[in-house]
Amino acid sequence: MKIAIITLLLHTNYGGILQAYALQTVLQRMGHDVQHLQPKVEFPPLHPAWQMPFVWLKRLIRKCFLGEWKLPVFEHPHRWGRRYTDAFIYKHIEVCSLSDEEWNASLAKDYDVFIVGSDQVWRPCYALPVERYFLSFLDDTCSNPRIAYAASFGTENCEFSSNQILDCRKLLQKFSFVSVREQSGVEICKQLFGVRASHLLDPTLLLSKDDYLKLIQNQKPSKGNLMVYVLDETPDIQVFISQVAASEKLTPFNTINSLENCLGMLQLPVENWLRGFVDAKLIITDSFHACVFAIIFNKPFICIGNNERGMSRFHSLLDLFGLQHCLLNEKQSFEIPKINWKKVNIKLEELRKQSLACIKHALIA
């Protein structure tokens, strides 16, 4: 079948990119033709046209004479910041970019099945407009199967407005199969949307460690053995990382690279991020997907809770594998989490088989 996947915009988020790659790969291995439907992105001009020669000259001076060799001279800063992640997307993920006008009912003629997921596709602050991620662009005459795979609300409390709940409730009840990524999402679907949902694995967990190693065969080793991937770093977190490094005699390496000016962040390659899990003896992170890949690569990790980005994701993931002790508790003294990887891997294989079976059943039901 020809399958359309509707997920959040793919840009510089490693977890978002790799969950899209994983779900696509799983479906392709089942013999399906897969495309990700994405909104077209246009970068707005940052300066009036008459100012650009002066901007380019200033950047050239900084690049050649002030040692800022990473600085782009002619590229748009936003496009420059995501050039490495875009390269991975273009190479590994099938994307169909649509303008706002092209998100309409005629898409039903182009695809046999529509799958929403995964990631925080049902969190209104990230999914814009959120109704699109409930397939609002399809009309009532469309009989194509509508599936939600491991969709996430992001938090244990639904952030929808009352009108959004009413609209999305009607849309979700048209789905033939609904699954969510967090246990809390099962209850939200039942209480607010009147739909029964299954709790299934994030797509990244459907692939094995060997699947990801194939992506990084030519990647250079990391410059350290304490992988740090912290999205919202604070002075306290910096002190904690230094204390852990000193205590365990580890060398930290950061998988986020940025320039401290208006040009924003230059995101390192996806392959570089994946290689970090291979080389790390320990991982410190506040990222859901970094915790996921620590599990896939069987690496001990310390999860720093991130309330702003949603804690239910972490609790749900760690509960599945009995790893709540990996979540940093300020009331306890620090120690490297001890993990029974044999037990974790047996549980992962069991859940992986269950999730894959549910996908196959949803596609033929």
Domain membership of residue 245 (yes or no) is yes
| CA 149 – CA 98 distance, rounded (Å) | 22
Domain membership of residue 54 (yes or no) is no
Task: From 209, 183, 223, select the one nearest 318 (Cα to Cα).
Answer: 183
For residue 149, the enclosing domain spans 2-42+81-206+353-364
The tokens describing 193, both together, are 């949307």
| CA 124 – CA 167 distance, rounded (Å) | 13
Q: Where are the alpha helices (DSSP H) in 69-208?
A: 77-81, 83-92, 162-172, 183-193
The tokens describing 262, both together, are 């208006």
CB 5 within 8 A of CB 64: no
Residues 280 and 228 in one domain: yes
Domain membership of residue 52 (yes or no) is no
CB 283 within 8 A of CB 229: yes
HSE of 267, CA atoms in CB hemisphere, 13 A = 23
CB 38 within 8 A of CB 28: no
pLDDT per residue as tens, the chain (365 positions): 999 999 999 999 999 999 999 999 999 999 999 999 999 987 677 777 777 787 778 878 877 887 777 777 777 777 777 889 999 999 999 999 999 999 999 999 999 999 998 899 999 999 999 999 999 999 999 999 999 999 999 999 899 999 999 999 999 999 999 999 999 999 999 999 999 999 999 999 999 999 999 999 989 999 999 999 999 888 989 999 999 999 999 999 998 865 444 455 678 899 999 999 999 999 999 999 999 999 999 999 999 987 777 788 999 999 999 999 999 865 556 678 899 999 999 999 999 999 999 999 999 97
Query: How many domains in the chain?
Result: 2
Residues 244 and 134 in one domain: no
Please give the C-alpha separations between residue 52 and each of 79, 112, 266, in angstroms, as whole numbers: 16, 47, 21
Residues 197 and 99 in one domain: yes
| CA 187 – CA 196 distance, rounded (Å) | 9
Please give the C-alpha separations between residue 358 and each of 198, 227, 276, 290, 332, in angstroms, as whole numbers: 9, 34, 32, 25, 40
Structural element, H or E, at residue 215: none
| CA 129 – CA 161 distance, rounded (Å) | 13
Domain membership of residue 55 (yes or no) is no
Residues 36 and 155 in one domain: yes
Domain membership of residue 66 (yes or no) is no
The domain that holds 323 is classified in CATH as 3.40.50
| CA 134 – CA 6 distance, rounded (Å) | 9
HSE of 233, CA atoms in CB hemisphere, 13 A = 16
Domain membership of residue 50 (yes or no) is no
Which of the 8 DSSP states describes residue 265? Answer: B
pTM for the predicted model, two decimal places: 0.91
The tokens describing 356, both together, are 């894959």
